[in-house]
Structure 1
């Protein structure tokens, strides 16, 4: 039962961290690549930025400040 609970938390954590990892990787590729690959990295970066929930991020930062 503990292993199953751990697996659920790992999946939840992966879903929360995944957009940030893609954002970091695409941003790095955007800086280094040229041509069509650079355009693809820019599109990937922008589409990932849209997927990040700004309201939750703002609420988290507000909780950290106060």
Structure 2
């Protein structure tokens, strides 16, 4: 019976350690994604938005330039 209890305690400790490692990896992954999102946002904000045409029958409602 002592061996069974010892095995259960060891398994529980191993699972907790694995969970801690997994949480650390998730934290690093989330930081990387947040950094990429910030870079993409900055890149998108730096691109000039084309303006709609102000006269004529084409391009005044929808930007038709490509």
Same fold (TM over 0.5): no
TM-score with structure 2 setting the length: 0.37
The structure whose Rg is larger is 2
Write 1 or 2 for the structure with the bigger share of helix: 1
Relative contact order: is structure 1 or structure 2 higher (C-alpha 8 Å, sep ≥ 6)?
A: 1
TM-score with structure 1 setting the length: 0.37
